[in-house]
Amino acid sequence: MIKNEKQYGVTKNNLKKFQDAIRVISESSSSKNPLLLKLQIDSIQSQIDVFEEEIEMYEGLKKGEITNVSRGFEDLSCGIIESRIAKGYNQKQFAELLKTSEQQVQKYESENYSNISLKRLQEIVAVLDVDFDATFNFNKKRRFTTSDFLAPQGVNTIEIRNRIRSRGTTVSMCR
C-alpha cells in the first residue's frame, strides 16, 4: 500500500524498472530455456501487477475517484490511511489536525496503527470526518484447535473418566 508521495514516487520508479526488465529479458530470449524465460517474465509481471494496482488505488484516492472502501477489522489501518489520502491530507497536515507531530503520524502508519487506543481511533475518525461502520457477525463459527481439548498438564483424564463411569454419571462433551 502506498502511504505517501515518497512511496508513490518509489513505486512508479520501480514499475518502470520492472517493465524495462521484461523488455530486456524478452529481447535476449534466444539463448534461454523457454520455460525459464516464461517463469522469469511471469514473476516480474506479477510484481508489475501489484505496483499498478497500488498506483491506481493511490491516484484514485488522491483524485477523489474512490470515495468508499470496505475493509475488515484486520485492515482497519488501510482504511485510515486511504481516508487520509482521499481527504487530501499529507502526513504533516494530518498531524496538525490531530495535534501531534508528523513523525508520530509516520510512526502510526509504519506500525499500521497497531498501537493506538480506542480513544485515539475515535479522534482519528472524527478528524477524518468519515463514516466508520463495524459489523459484528455473531454467527461466525469458532474454530477449535487441538489445544482446546487438552487437559491441563498433570491431570489424569483416564482416572477421572473411570471415576465418573463407576458412579454411573453421564459425561457430556459440551463446553
* pLDDT tens, residue by residue, 8-65: 999 999 999 999 999 988 887 666 788 888 888 999 999 999 999 999 999 999 999 9
Contact 129, 119 (CB under 8 A): no
Whether the predicted model's global pTM rises above the 0.85 cut: no
Is 27 within a domain? yes
Contact 113, 80 (CB under 8 A): yes
pLDDT of residue 28: 77
Is 41 within a domain? yes
CATH of the domain at 123: 1.10.260.40
Is 167 within a domain? no
Residue-wise pLDDT for 92-126, tens only, equals 999 999 999 999 999 999 999 989 999 999 999 99
Contact 23, 41 (CB under 8 A): no
Domain count within the chain: 2
Q: What is the DSSP string of 44-60?
A: HHHHHHHHHHHHHHHHH
Same domain, residue pair 61 and 75: no
Take residue 5 and report the three cell numbers written for it.
508521495
Q: Tell me the residue range of the domain where 135 lies.
A: 68-141
Contact 94, 100 (CB under 8 A): no
